[in-house]
Amino acid sequence: MDDLPPEPTPDNEFYDGNIPSITQSDQIASRQRSQNARALQEEEYDTNHRRRGMAIILNHENFELMSKREGTNRDRDAATAVLTSMQFDVRVYNDLGRDELFCVLLALASEDHSDCDCLLVMLMTHGDDDVLYAYDGPYSVDKLWESFMGNACTTLLGKPKLFFVQACRGSTFDKGVKLGCRDLDSDHFSSHKYVIPTTADLLVMYSSYKGHVSWRSPRGGSWFIQALCVELETNWKHMELLQLLTGVSRRVAYDYQSNMPSKGRMDAMKQMPSIVSMLTKLVYFPLKLCS
């Protein structure tokens, strides 16, 4: 007789070799899997709430010990206009210190978002590898969404939380590479229904790839925020979010290149935005008739 395959075992060095019997916890886990399966059938996030949601713009132009970010107010104003047209409730904060910034985020997380579809936070500042700068000093980039993870903000459970970060992520320049001949012309999910990872439903889009600089024009604003605003303005009513953001990446990658011939190592440089998505469904922004 053929040998039977071995019983599957937990990948755990403390497993003692005994196969556990069916218990009440197993039955609960079985029901859990059934509920999760039903949730998988819902391909889009719920957009039937009364409000689109809050959009927070954290704009940093002036710093205590760092250079002025000229052009950022153009980004702020463009973002305010397009997010307002998208029916977000927009709040703008300028040049906050670290404690002030953390207070704003904590207060936002403590608000009731039950009648909102989602949350959006947009930040424009100086940065480095995993570090962002407030007016008076640095902080970890994770601080931006820390207050909205897991049960930290229960009224946003199961809803998309979208973060857009315009900041350098290091000092590396992207020289680019030639690509042949191309013309570059219910109100919320309750915790007892089913369990989801604490990091679920989060999206972070960075203006550049890890370790690389992010470009900004003193007159025209940053490449990333300007491209994001153009794509949102053009496509938000009919295009799924990740498809739209791919358009942002394409626009930055192909339409922009630094022009600084007097500074050789900074001339003809490129930039590539980076998306980290933990979304579990499709994100749409249908027009709300009564907002």
Predicted confidence (pLDDT) per residue in 161-220, tens digit: 999 999 999 999 998 887 665 454 544 544 445 677 888 999 999 999 999 999 999 999
- Predicted pLDDT at 184: 47
Separate counts of helices (H) and strands (E) for the chain? 6, 11
**H or E stretch including 82?**
helix 72-85
Confidence of residue 10 (pLDDT cuts 50, 70, 90): very low
Confidence of residue 158 (pLDDT cuts 50, 70, 90): very high
CA distances from 279 to 92, 197, 202 (A): 25, 11, 6
- Predicted pLDDT at 264: 79
**Residue 153 is a catalytic residue:** no
What's the start-to-end Cα distance of the chain, in Å?
Answer: 70
CA atoms within 13 A on the CB side of 14: 0
**Helical axes 223-235 vs 72-85, angle rounded to 10°:** 20
Catalytic: which of 116, 118, 153, 168?
Answer: 168
Q: Which of 150, 56, 143, 57 is nearest to 108 (CA)?
A: 56
Mean pLDDT taken over the chain: 87
229/83 Cα distance (integer angstroms) = 9
**Helical axes 223-235 vs 241-255, angle rounded to 10°:** 140
Residue 30 pLDDT more than 70? no
236/81 Cα distance (integer angstroms) = 13
Confidence of residue 80 (pLDDT cuts 50, 70, 90): very high
Q: Which of 27, 59, 32 is nearest to 125 (CA)?
A: 59
More confident residue, 87 or 150: 87
- Label residues 18-49 b or e (16+ Cβ within 10 Å = b): eeeeeeeeeeeeeeeeeeeeeeeeeeebeeeb
- Predicted pLDDT at 144: 97
DSSP state of 124: E
253/259 Cα distance (integer angstroms) = 15
Residues forming beta bridges with residue 44, ordered by sequence position? 282
CA distances from 196 to 25, 148, 185, 234 (A): 17, 14, 44, 33
DSSP state of 50: S
Residues forming beta bridges with residue 164, ordered by sequence position? 122, 205
Domains of the chain: 49-173+200-278 (3.40.50.1460)
**Residue 60 is a catalytic residue:** no
Look up tokens 């809803």; give the residue: 159
Residue 139 pLDDT more than 80? yes
Q: Which of 263, 246, 256, 232 is nearest to 120 (CA)?
A: 232
CB 167 within 8 A of CB 236: no
